[in-house]
Amino acid sequence: MKSYPAVIKWSGSKRPVAKQLASYISYGETYFEPFVGGGAMLPYSLCDKGMAGDIIPELIDLWNAIKNEPYLVADEYQIRWEDLQLNGPDVYYKIRDRFNKSRNCHDFLFLTRTCVNGMIRYNSEGNFNNSFHLSRPGINPDSLRNIIEQWSAAIAKFTFRNCDYRELLSEVKKGDFVFLDPPYGGTKDRYTHTPFCLSDFYSELERLNSIGANWMLTFDGTAGDRQYAYAPPQDLYRHKFEIYTGNSSFKKVMDSKKETIQESVYLNFKPCHNLFDL
């Protein structure tokens, strides 16, 4: 199976380990991903159908545009990128102001590709507030066009929905598979600025177990000397292993010191060994 470069860059992306994680999955009828973010796992799903959701509306608009109008997405990026090359950083700030009024998904893609370290950051009023990455011109439009076309084909079987994870999970049936990559327990969501409630989340895991759906959860772990030890109760899962997910982009921004992140992977089923070339 081929590898996919990121189409939507997302901090906390599972891209470095997506293929490996996907090779352990026991796929069922429908694949669910209720915290989709940059969707690193989507292209590797072996299910015939998929449902993906996220709390951020412009992100879901962008996923739908990549799926349904890939040429328009590529053209819109190219227009903004060429303007940036001609007229400099003012173009970025003009687009950022416009985005904060309209939430246009094409502006959103451009911002994610040209902001500092690709970090999607909103202030307490919900406005995108990261700055322009001065030393980087943004991905070349021809390269991005090629990536968008690959992804558009890979996600054709998915339905994207802007909703809370519980709403998407309410559609899961016996024999479906759910991939869960929520915000770290206790941390505030960057968009809603509300803390992620672990007890609600564990109730959902319990409900999925009772339905007879398989799930894989990536959670807690360590980054450098910080610990995010929010392990789910042991009676909820059957298997656990550790995985290295790469370097912390947050830490890179803060003091340019690199640190590796280790995450725990929990499964409520016995891991498979799908034949992917890793």
Residues forming contacts to ligand SAM in the complex (CB under 6 A) are 10, 12-14, 34-35, 37-40, 53-56, 164-165, 181-183, 189, 191
Shortest separation between residue 186's beta carbon and ligand SAM, angstroms:
13
DSSP per-residue codes, 150-166? HHHHHTTTEEEEES-HH
Shortest separation between residue 94's beta carbon and ligand SAM, angstroms:
26
Alpha helices in the chain (DSSP H): 18-23, 57-68, 70-87, 90-102, 105-114, 141-154, 165-169, 198-211, 249-255
Q: What secondary structure letter does DSSP report for 225?
A: T
Cβ-based nearer residue to ligand SAM, 84 or 160: 160
Cβ-based nearer residue to ligand SAM, 17 or 144: 17
Cβ-based nearer residue to ligand SAM, 57 or 271: 57
Cβ-based nearer residue to ligand SAM, 13 or 248: 13
State CA 254 to chain mean position distance.
22
Cβ-based nearer residue to ligand SAM, 94 or 251: 251
Shortest separation between residue 8's beta carbon and ligand SAM, angstroms:
8
144 in Cβ contact with 8 (< 8 Å): no
Shortest separation between residue 175's beta carbon and ligand SAM, angstroms:
23
3-state secondary structure 131-153: CECCCCCCCCHHHHHHHHHHHHH
Shortest separation between residue 46's beta carbon and ligand SAM, angstroms:
17
3-state DSSP helix/strand/coil percent for the chain, to nearest 5? 40, 20, 40
